[in-house]
Amino acid sequence: MSLQIPLRERSNGVAGATKAVILVGGASRGTRFRPLSLDVPKPLFDVAGHPIIWHCLTAIEKVPSIQEVYLIGYYEESVFRDFIKDASTQFPNLTIKYLREYQALGTAGGLYHFRDAILKGRPEHIFVLNSDVCCSFPLNEMLKLAQEKDAEAVILGTRVSEEAATNFGCIVSDAHTRRVLHYVEKPESYISNLINCGVYLFSTDAIFPSIRTAIKRRTDRPRLASYRSSENLASSFMLDDEAESEKNEVIRLEQDILSDMADNKQFFVYETKDFWRQIKTAGSAIPANALYLQKAMQNGSQELAPPSANIIPPVYIHPTAHVHPTAKLGPNVSIGPRATVDAGARVKESIVLEDAEIKHDACVLYSIIGWSSRVGAWARVEGTPTPVTSHNTSIVKNGVKVQAITILGKECAVGDEVRVQNCVCLPFKELKRDVANEVIM
């Protein structure tokens, strides 16, 4: 008698189920995404017409063996409720749940804390995705490599310039076998330009024992192994003992797990040649928006505005937005719900958020216009283009480091004919005079 293999499993040849985890962080994170994260949690910020984590789910949905996805973070429960409701209709094959950490547990600590939920149904593999990356998420290819190599872990890698490499986790691998030989998070000196993209596939038999070993090591030698977590702002205000106990619970994949895996596990790297960017600073939403729009265009997405004399593709216009036919948009522009763009306006390489207004003959370039903000008639709001290969969102102007992208927070107003260049403007500000290279508080 032959065994019947269900179609979803047969289609990619994987016997066991796979689950996916998206690490969404919490309110104390995403500080570099200010002022935009003051009004919306970074994972829910819209790029190319959809929340950042919606793009992760689009890729996860393409893996036939995945049915369950967990968003793990330490935001309040209510934060993801509406998103999960919408996503459950848009991705009917996926069951999406939010699992809340009682405090920041680190990129591996949360996984370990929720291991019983993750291991329910005995999945063979789990994907772990950082929510703050923008890429094409070649998950099926990673799964295929895992099968070919009988891997315990596969990491997604990409090549960056030698100068940029030490800002990331660096991977030294065997070019022939693709085995990871060495992993160092943000090394002091150059070791490799193949870097960690923040997307992993782990066999469930390997990852949880590895985290357990790291926890044990920390418990045995807490003072030596602990460190002040720079992103945990709260800990700066804690008593030493309190901070110490919280730090000891933080376990990070990058610092505490991956380098050990390189030493003693079947750990491989899948190198993507496709696009990859981090979404850290608010300005980095602009390259992410451009890359996801370009991908949507390549895939022939029906969501994009049809090209015309005044629409230079790719452009996304929400169905409830009002764009005057004489306004010129694109390339790489997203216009949010109920936003208006009046006659003769020009918008290029920008995101215009919900309920924002761009008055007639205004010009918006390399900028993000916040929710319900207003750009007056003949005004000019502009940032500076950065090289397509750059992973940096700041530039040096007149010897001073400034943000390349101009950002207006929520409910800002730029007066008629006013020029705003390379500025970050906090919510509710009114700009009546020309400003350049400033943070307006």
- CB 42, min distance to ligand GTP, A: 7
Residue 177 to residues 4, 198, 237: CA-CA distances in angstroms?
A: 34, 21, 48
**Which is nearer to ligand GTP, 198 or 376 (by Cβ)?**
198
The secondary structure element, H or E, covering residue 172 is strand 169-173
Which segment (100-108, 201-209, 324-332, 413-421) binds ligand GTP by CB under 6 A?
Answer: 100-108
Residue 25 touching ligand GTP (CB under 6 A): yes
Helix (H, G, I), strand (E, B) or coil at 54: helix
Residue 29 engages ligand GTP in binding (rule: CB under 6 A): yes
Check residue 107 for interaction with ligand GTP (CB under 6 A): yes
Q: Is 279 in the site for ligand GTP (CB under 6 A)?
A: no
Residue nearest to ligand GTP (CB): 25
CB nearer to ligand GTP: pick between 131 and 393: 131
Q: Of 295 and 391, which has the nearer Cβ to ligand GTP?
A: 391
**CB 72, min distance to ligand GTP, A:** 4
How many chain residues are in contact with ligand GTP, going by CB under 6 A? 19
Window of 98-106, 201-209, 416-424, 432-440 that interacts with ligand GTP by CB under 6 A:
98-106
- State which of residues 24, 257, 317, 413 lies at the interface with ligand GTP (CB under 6 A): 24
What is residue 264's three-state secondary structure? helix
Residue with tokens 């995945």: 66
How many angstroms separate the CA atoms of 236 and 229, rounded?
Answer: 9
Is 249 among the residues that bind ligand GTP (CB under 6 A)? Answer: no
131 in contact with ligand GTP (CB under 6 A)? yes
41 lies in the site for ligand GTP, by CB under 6 A: no
CA–CA dist 101, 20 (Å, integer): 17
Residues 2-21 that bind ligand GTP (CB under 6 A): none
Least distance between ligand GTP and beta carbon 441 (Å): 23
160 binds ligand GTP (CB under 6 A): no
Q: 130: which residues sit within 8 A by CB, 6+ positions away?
A: 23, 107, 198, 199
Min separation Cβ 98 and ligand GTP, Å: 10
DSSP string, 213-251: HHHHHHHHSHHHH----TT-GGGGGS-HHHHHHHHHH--
Alpha-carbon 310 to chain mean position: 31
Side chain identity at 283, as an amino acid letter? G
User: How far, in Å, CA of 139 to CA of 160, rounded?
Assistant: 21
Question: Contact at 8 Å (CB) between 288 and 47?
Answer: yes
Asked if the peptide bond before residue 222 counts as cis, ω within 30 degrees of 0, the response is no
Q: Which is nearer to ligand GTP, 36 or 420 (CB)?
A: 36
Q: What angle do CA 238, 239, 243 make, to 5 degrees?
A: 65
> Which residue in this structure is represented by tokens 């459950």?
88
CA atoms within 13 A on the CB side of 213: 13
Distance CA 34, CA 409 (A): 9
- 370 near ligand GTP (CB under 6 A): no
Find the binder of ligand GTP among 51, 64, 106, 409 (CB under 6 A): 106
Question: Least distance in Å: CB of 253 to ligand GTP?
Answer: 8
- Binder of ligand GTP out of 144, 182, 217, 280 (CB under 6 A): 280
Tell me how far, at minimum, the Cβ of 149 lies from ligand GTP, in Å. 25
> Which of 46, 61, 68, 132 touches ligand GTP (CB under 6 A)?
132
Contact residues for 271 (Cβ-Cβ < 8 A; gap 6+): 157, 158, 159, 178, 194
Figure out which of the listed residues 37, 65, 130, 284 binds ligand GTP, where binding follows CB under 6 A.
130
By beta-carbon proximity to ligand GTP, the closer residue of 24 and 156 is: 24
- In this structure, the number of other CB atoms found within 10 A of the CB of residue 245 comes to 13
CA 402 to chain centre: 22
**Least Å from the CB of residue 6 to ligand GTP:** 31
In Å, what is the CA distance from 403 to each residue of 166, 318, 324, 393?
21, 27, 30, 6
Does residue 72 belong to the site contacting ligand GTP (CB under 6 A)? yes
Both tokens of 268, joined, read 């491989």
Q: Which amino acid is at 76?
A: E
Per-residue contact track with ligand GTP, 213 to 232, x per CB under 6 A? ------------------x-
Is 207 a binding residue for ligand GTP by CB under 6 A? The answer is no
| Binder among 17, 20, 23, 211 for ligand GTP (CB under 6 A) | 23
Element (H, E) at 246: helix 240-249
CB 251, min distance to ligand GTP, A: 9
Binding residues (CB under 6 A) for ligand GTP: these are 23-25, 29, 72-74, 101, 104-107, 110, 130-132, 198, 231, 280
